[in-house]
Structure 1
Amino acid sequence: MKHSDEPSAAAKLVATDRTRLRRAREKERTARADLDSVLAAGFVCHLGVVVDDAPMVVPTGYGVIGDTLYLHGSVASRSLVQAPESVVCVTITHVDGIVLARSMFEQSINYRSAMIYGIPRTVEDPEEKLAGLRALTEQCAPGQWEYARQPNRKELAATTLLALGLAEASVKVRTGPPGDGDSPDAVLGLWAGVVPTSVVRGAPVPDPALPSDVRLPSHISSMSGKPAHHVDR
């Protein structure tokens, strides 16, 4: 298998011309652990790629093994067909709060985000392809890979899996209250603060075609009421 081993907990992100922050440097995070945290907290990313001389940004699921990010889609997807031939930019963003300030200029959003650049490769090795698809499935719903029927040869042939290294990445995080607490606007008598924001998994809704005697598996029932991110592993 071609994906690399787990990264060191003390590893740092190496800045490049594409990833180096040129403004709002206080939002920059340089530890590899910060990137891992953003990746672990979600399961949907946006793949940015140039197709027919025009930018295309496509939402898709992802999974991570060590230093490799896996993305998947149909073999007919134009974005996935084009991606291995050029540099792409993958982004992941989690919104944690709406920052309401006394002035519109200071209004903001608390967030965690990552941008990853590189030229992805198409995964051809059958063992790595299964491992990547498993990582992608478990990223979204831990326990589902072993529970459901796994893909057959025909389904694997109809699926494209891309592997993108994590060597060129940047992380930005914004936390805290509005920035105008000590400004002249503080005397306006206007409310200011943060409205926390999160995505929570609801109660599972059974397929209408599901027979009544099929029980809800524990790995799915345990998701209910939990944040859609930071799922227990």
Structure 2
Amino acid sequence: MDAAQPVSDYPPTPRTTPTRKRDRARYDAATVHAVLDADFICHLGFVVDGAPVVLPTIYARVDDRLYLHGSTGSRPMRTAAGDGLPVCLTVTLPQGIVLARSALHHSVNYRSVVAHGTARQVTDPEEVSLAFAALIDHMLPGRAADCRPPTPKEQAMTTVLRLDLREVSAKIRSGGVNDDPEDMGLAHWAGLLPLARVRQAPVPDPAMAPGTALPDYLRAAAP
């Protein structure tokens, strides 16, 4: 896709239009969803008593909405239980460290998504169940059907927020070094250091029932 002519599945707004490097912005649903589906940790920003707060939490995407997990007693959950909580949600996937000859031109390759909107508490029992399963399966597909579902008491201890994807954009930095021409001859190593998150082999709980087999979804995830 041409970076200079992004597809506007999510119409740009003043909040989703970068002030710098606008060619890195993407508004098409395919790119936004691909970034969101590649991770399960987001940072949720909101304001409490006039002060900004940013909290990490898990999330899952279902179509054009995100579900966020939290404790019933947490500040964002209590606030969202009323008229909703204005939030800014971010997901960042580091791809590599760009090592330039000059300190100024060092950079990071990344894919990221920023979403603005009002997060609201999910109260419909069927949607709560769907959200719980989505949150678990987003971390590890197949796990939701392979564990005990939450009891009513456990559900009462946990709250789920819903954020509809309306005002959202992705931003991507890729490629190599962008040194100034006069620095190209300097004798400093320059290039790209790729980054990747790797799953390790599963470690069984010592108290697990004897004979419990390793599930196929974990076997497939093992290195």
* Alignment TM class, shorter chain as reference: over 0.9
Runs of 4+ in structure 1 off by over 4 angstroms are none
Aligned to 2:112: 113
Aligned to 1:104: 103
Give the Å deviation of 1:206: 0.8
Question: Which of 187, 208, 211 is 2:209 aligned to?
Answer: 211
Question: What are the superposed Cα offsets for residues 23-58 of structure 1, whole Å, 9 maximum, x if unpaired?
Answer: 111211121111011011111111111122211111
Q: Is the 8 A contact 1:30 1:171 kept in 2?
A: yes
* Secondary structure in 2 matching 1:200: coil
**Percent of matched pairs sharing the same residue:** 44
Give 2:144's aligned amino acid.
W
Matched residues in 2 for 1:11 and 1:149: separation? Answer: 41
Give the Å deviation of 1:101: 0.4
Matched residues in 2 for 1:108 and 1:96: separation? Answer: 11
Aligned to 2:11: 14
Question: Which of 10, 16, 23 is 1:26 aligned to?
Answer: 23
Give the Å deviation of 1:167: 0.6
Give 2:11's aligned amino acid.
V
Aligned to 2:3: none
Give the Å deviation of 1:11: 6.2
Matched residues in 1 for 2:108 and 2:36: separation? Answer: 19
Give 2:63's aligned amino acid.
G
Structure 1 residues without counterparts, runs of 5 or longer = 1-9, 226-233
Q: Is the 8 A contact 2:85 2:120 kept in 1?
A: no
Question: What are the superposed Cα offsets for residues 194-225 of structure 1, whole Å, 9 maximum, x if unpaired?
Answer: 10001111000111222342221111121123
Aligned to 2:125: 126
Count of residues paired in the alignment: 215
**1:55 is the counterpart of 2:52:** yes
Question: Which piece of structure 1 moves more, 140-149 or 75-84?
Answer: 75-84
Give the Å deviation of 1:178: 1.1
Matched residues in 1 for 2:52 and 2:193: separation? Answer: 33
Question: What are the superposed Cα offsets for residues 80-102 of structure 1, whole Å, 9 maximum, x if unpaired?
Answer: 22246331000000000011000
Matched residues in 2 for 1:130 and 1:183: separation? Answer: 57
* Secondary structure in 2 matching 1:104: coil
Question: Which of 67, 70, 74 is 2:71 aligned to?
Answer: 74
Superposed, which structure 2 residues align to 1:54-203 within 5 Å? 54-83=51-80, 85-180=84-179, 183-203=181-201
Q: Is the 8 A contact 2:79 2:85 kept in 1?
A: yes
| TM score, norm. by length of structure 1 | 0.88
Q: Is the 8 A contact 1:51 1:82 kept in 2?
A: no
Matched residues in 2 for 1:86 and 1:133: separation? Answer: 20
Aligned to 2:4: none
Give the Å deviation of 1:60: 0.6
Question: Which piece of structure 1 moves more, 192-201 or 19-28?
Answer: 19-28
Give 1:141's aligned amino acid.
L
Matched residues in 1 for 2:110 and 2:43: separation? Answer: 16
| TM score, norm. by length of structure 2 | 0.92
Matched residues in 2 for 1:30 and 1:127: separation? Answer: 31
Matched residues in 2 for 1:86 and 1:76: separation? Answer: 15
Structure 2 residues without counterparts, runs of 5 or longer = 1-6
Question: What are the superposed Cα offsets for residues 173-199 of structure 1, whole Å, 9 maximum, x if unpaired?
Answer: 00010111x621101122111100011
Give 2:217's aligned amino acid.
H
Give the Å deviation of 1:70: 0.4
